[in-house]
């Protein structure tokens, strides 16, 4: 039954992860996540556990005793954040998450200064750098870098856990984990995520966060997913079929205003995203072209659309935002965007704690202190 990743070719490892049966054997060890690569790898029970751990950490962190307790969890442990694709906010979120558990952290972001530049293979580079660490967090423009690194480490003499912090255009697992956590938290007094109706707005095809969240929603009994997206930016790779197959009613809209006008009052959460212009050859995402940045009218949540939504509708955005979610929304009762940012840190702490088998201890401590 069990599969030893060390015995597989890279192609077989990738195929194994595609396969729902073998995926868990390849990515988990002793029931705990070891390689965190795709949103699909987590069961609903995994997600509930991660959310509970995140809440325990968040509350323990408010008191000096809790802070000291948490900083013992990964004391002496070293986490490398290998960010070939720069992303200050995600890197700082991971670093804060590890730091709160007492781990030592390093950010390696300039790949040109490593031996990658001297003609070394990716496998050698990752193995060498991993020698000084106990966990590696990777972000890379190549879709398969985190997977390749996991495979190379699995067959090395000293494997360590790998967490993807975003790979190319494909997925952004930890963003979807924090989104699930934020939704669950927001719906705590309304029966949780099950039965809810969610609207995803923007460049869903190229926005890793939106893609990963859509995958994650299939783990819950989400009632309906409305996607508001330009035709050119519809997700590829079978995402829509995947969601439908999991029993979620998916609808596509080409403009935001008419969609909200029709169904806004039934909507429980609106998840906004920005246009991913950095992937466009012509537009680019450089500050010099700031004037051109931002999405067009069809995908902006104008303040006057508040009338279409209920007051308890949750408003989310993975940030950064350009023009699609204007500032007046900050005073809307359901605006949880800044909470999402903090939740990212708590959820990443929870993930690291789970990987290293400390989740039970953390939740038990919080329970004993009546914090959860």
Binding site for its own copies (CB under 8 A): 64, 67-68, 71, 75-76, 78, 80, 86-89, 92-93, 95-96, 99-100, 104, 106, 108-110, 112-120, 124-125, 127-129, 131-133, 156-158, 274, 278, 285-287, 290, 293-294, 319-322, 338, 341-342, 345
Residue 168 vs 294, nearer CB to its own copies:
294
Angstrom distance (rounded) from CA 108 to CA 78: 13
In 3D, which of 246, 245, 261 has the Cα closest to residue 199? 261
The least distance separating its own copies from the CB of residue 89, rounded to whole angstroms, comes to 5
Relative orientation angle of helices 145-154 and 122-130, to the nearest 10 degrees? 70
Peptide bond into 320 cis (omega under 30): yes
Q: How many CB atoms lie within 10 A of CB 86?
A: 11
Angstrom distance (rounded) from CA 313 to CA 303: 14
Angstrom distance (rounded) from CA 10 to CA 14: 6
Q: How many CB atoms lie within 10 A of CB 130?
A: 21
The least distance separating its own copies from the CB of residue 123, rounded to whole angstroms, comes to 8
Residue where the block lists tokens 């903090």: 342
CB-CB contact of 181 with 343 (8 Å): yes
Token pair of 221 as six digits: 């009994």
Tell how strand 78-83 and strand 104-108 pair up: parallel
The least distance separating its own copies from the CB of residue 69, rounded to whole angstroms, comes to 11
The least distance separating its own copies from the CB of residue 92, rounded to whole angstroms, comes to 5
* Angle of CA points 36, 40, 42, to nearest 5°: 65
Residue 17 vs 160, nearer CB to its own copies:
160
The least distance separating its own copies from the CB of residue 70, rounded to whole angstroms, comes to 8
Residue 68 vs 254, nearer CB to its own copies:
68
Where do runs of H (alpha helix) occur along the chain? 10-18, 20-27, 44-60, 64-73, 88-100, 122-130, 145-154, 173-186, 208-217, 239-245, 256-263, 337-355, 359-368
CB-CB contact of 35 with 155 (8 Å): no
The least distance separating its own copies from the CB of residue 204, rounded to whole angstroms, comes to 18
Residue 242 vs 279, nearer CB to its own copies:
279
H or E segment at 76? none
For the chain, report the end-to-end CA distance as a whole number of angstroms: 38
Residue 272 vs 345, nearer CB to its own copies:
345
The least distance separating its own copies from the CB of residue 78, rounded to whole angstroms, comes to 6
Residue 96 vs 230, nearer CB to its own copies:
96
Residue 71 vs 302, nearer CB to its own copies:
71
Residue 1 vs 132, nearer CB to its own copies:
132
Phi, psi (deg, nearest 5) at residue 6:
-65, -20
Residue 28 vs 346, nearer CB to its own copies:
346
CB-CB contact of 152 with 244 (8 Å): no
The least distance separating its own copies from the CB of residue 63, rounded to whole angstroms, comes to 10
Token pair of 314 as six digits: 């949750």
Residue 115 vs 296, nearer CB to its own copies:
115
The least distance separating its own copies from the CB of residue 302, rounded to whole angstroms, comes to 18
Q: How many CB atoms lie within 10 A of CB 343?
A: 25
Where do runs of H (alpha helix) occur along 28-172? 44-60, 64-73, 88-100, 122-130, 145-154
The least distance separating its own copies from the CB of residue 214, rounded to whole angstroms, comes to 22
């Amino acid at each position: 039954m069990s599969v030893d990743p060390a015995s597989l070719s890279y192609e077989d490892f990738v195929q194994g992860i595609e396969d729902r049966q073998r995926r868990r054997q390849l990515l988990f060890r002793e029931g705990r996540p070891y390689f965190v690569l795709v949103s699909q790898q987590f069961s609903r029970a995994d997600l509930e556990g991660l959310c509970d751990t995140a809440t325990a950490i968040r509350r323990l962190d408010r008191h000096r005793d809790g802070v000291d307790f948490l900083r013992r969890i990964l004391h002496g442990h070293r986490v490398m954040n290998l960010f070939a694709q720069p992303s200050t906010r995600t890197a700082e979120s991971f670093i804060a998450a590890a730091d709160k558990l007492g781990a030592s952290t390093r950010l390696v972001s300039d790949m040109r200064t490593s031996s990658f530049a001297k003609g070394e293979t990716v496998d050698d580079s990752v193995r060498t750098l991993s020698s000084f660490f106990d966990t590696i967090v990777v972000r890379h423009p190549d879709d398969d870098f985190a997977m390749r690194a996991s495979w190379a480490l699995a067959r090395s003499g000293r494997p360590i856990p790998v967490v993807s912090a975003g790979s190319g255009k494909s997925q952004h697992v930890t963003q979807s984990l924090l989104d699930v956590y934020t939704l669950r938290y927001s719906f705590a007094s309304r029966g949780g995520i099950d039965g809810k109706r969610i609207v995803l707005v923007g460049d869903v095809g190229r926005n890793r966060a939106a893609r990963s969240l859509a995958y994650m929603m299939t783990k819950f009994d989400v009632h309906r997913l409305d996607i508001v997206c330009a035709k050119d930016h519809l997700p590829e790779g079978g995402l829509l079929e995947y969601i439908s197959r999991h029993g979620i009613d998916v609808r596509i809209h080409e403009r935001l205003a008419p969609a909200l006008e029709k169904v806004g009052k039934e909507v429980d959460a609106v998840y906004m995203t920005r246009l991913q212009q950095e992937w466009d050859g012509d537009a680019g995402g450089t500050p010099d072209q700031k004037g051109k940045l931002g999405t067009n009218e069809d995908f902006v949540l104008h303040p006057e659309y508040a009338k279409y939504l209920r007051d308890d509708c949750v408003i989310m955005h993975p940030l950064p935002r350009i023009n699609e979610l204007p500032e007046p929304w900050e005073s809307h009762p359901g605006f949880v965007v800044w909470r999402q940012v903090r939740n990212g840190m708590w959820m990443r702490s929870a993930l690291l704690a789970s990987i290293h088998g400390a989740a039970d201890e953390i939740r038990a401590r919080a329970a004993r202190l009546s914090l959860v």
